[in-house]
Amino acid sequence: MKPQDIIAGKSSLWIFGYGSLVWKPDFKHKRSHVGFIRGYKRRFWHGDTFHRGSDEMPGRVVTLLEEDDACTWGVAFEVTGSQIEESLTYLNIREAVRGGYGTRMVEFVPHDESQPSVQALVYIATEDNPTYLGPASTDEIAAQIAVCKGKTGYNIEYLLRLAEFMRQSCPGVEDAHLFSIERACLAIFKPLLLAAQQRAVLLLPSTSVTARSFASFGGGVKDVRAAVWEELSAGAQDRAFSLGRGRAYGNERCGG
């Protein structure tokens, strides 16, 4: 489906995001709704050699696979007037050229039941894409995410932001694939953070946010998640995250 075919005769267009678009659309839009689409499941099966990885170490980002009984939660954005062409021009670079995604039209169902279902454009990467990675075990996917970084940032940031969106915006919706990868990825960092807690003075300035956070680091999933976020926000990523590189590779509403 070509952008010019999508624009033809339209004064309004909905665009459904299920990955980084849910927290960073970066295009002007009239309004947005949290909701879901049926018949697709979200999987970390697509490779990313630009935003969250490199040619040498491709990251893993999400795409959609058809499955009759599945559904995927995300955010739909309505663009109108000149926003339509502007958003599609931008997304063609971000998702198609750099990401390898194609487009389809799907039915989007808002979480707010007072809002009607709408047809929405969605970007999907399929297995015929050269950067498509396909299935792997939870631990293998987590290990890859734990060590990869691209021009937009760390792959683990992408994972944590998507998981946080689901917890905050779709409470009660279970996404077993997403949350299991998050747990496995955080498990990689737990021993590293515990070790850093013991020698924080050697790794980081004693006045840094991260060093202070180690003093109360308890080692639970929430503690690990919070400590990783501290690393991402405190500017200490390259030092602390580099500790994990060898370890990671060496060793009829829809419910979600």
User: Between these two residues, 211 and 64, which has the higher pLDDT value?
Assistant: 64
Q: Distance of CA 55 to CAs 143, 201, 245, Å? A: 17, 35, 17
pLDDT at 227: 73
C-alpha torsion sign, points 14, 158, 182, 209? negative
Active site residue 157: no
Mean pLDDT of 95-111: 86
- The percentage of the chain sitting over the pLDDT mark of 70, rounded to a whole number, equals 74
- Which member of 56, 78, 95, 182 is catalytic? 95
Residues 193-244: pLDDT tens digits? Answer: 666 666 554 444 444 444 444 444 455 667 677 777 777 766 544 444 444 4
User: Between these two residues, 129 and 36, which has the higher pLDDT value?
Assistant: 36
Q: How many other CB atoms sit within 10 Å of the CB of residue 224?
A: 23
Residue 79 identity = V
pLDDT at 151 over 50: yes
What is the distance in angstroms between the CA of the first residue and the CA of the last residue of the chain?
27
* Closest of 143, 147, 26 to residue 87, by C-alpha: 26
Spell out a b/e string for 61-97, using b for 16 or more CB atoms within 10 Å of the CB, else e: bbbbbeeeebbbbbbbbbbeeebbeebbeebbebbbe
pLDDT at 251: 35
Domains in the chain (CATH in brackets) are 3-250 (3.10.490.10)
pLDDT at 211: 45
Q: What is the pTM of this model?
A: 0.81
* Average pLDDT value for the chain: 82
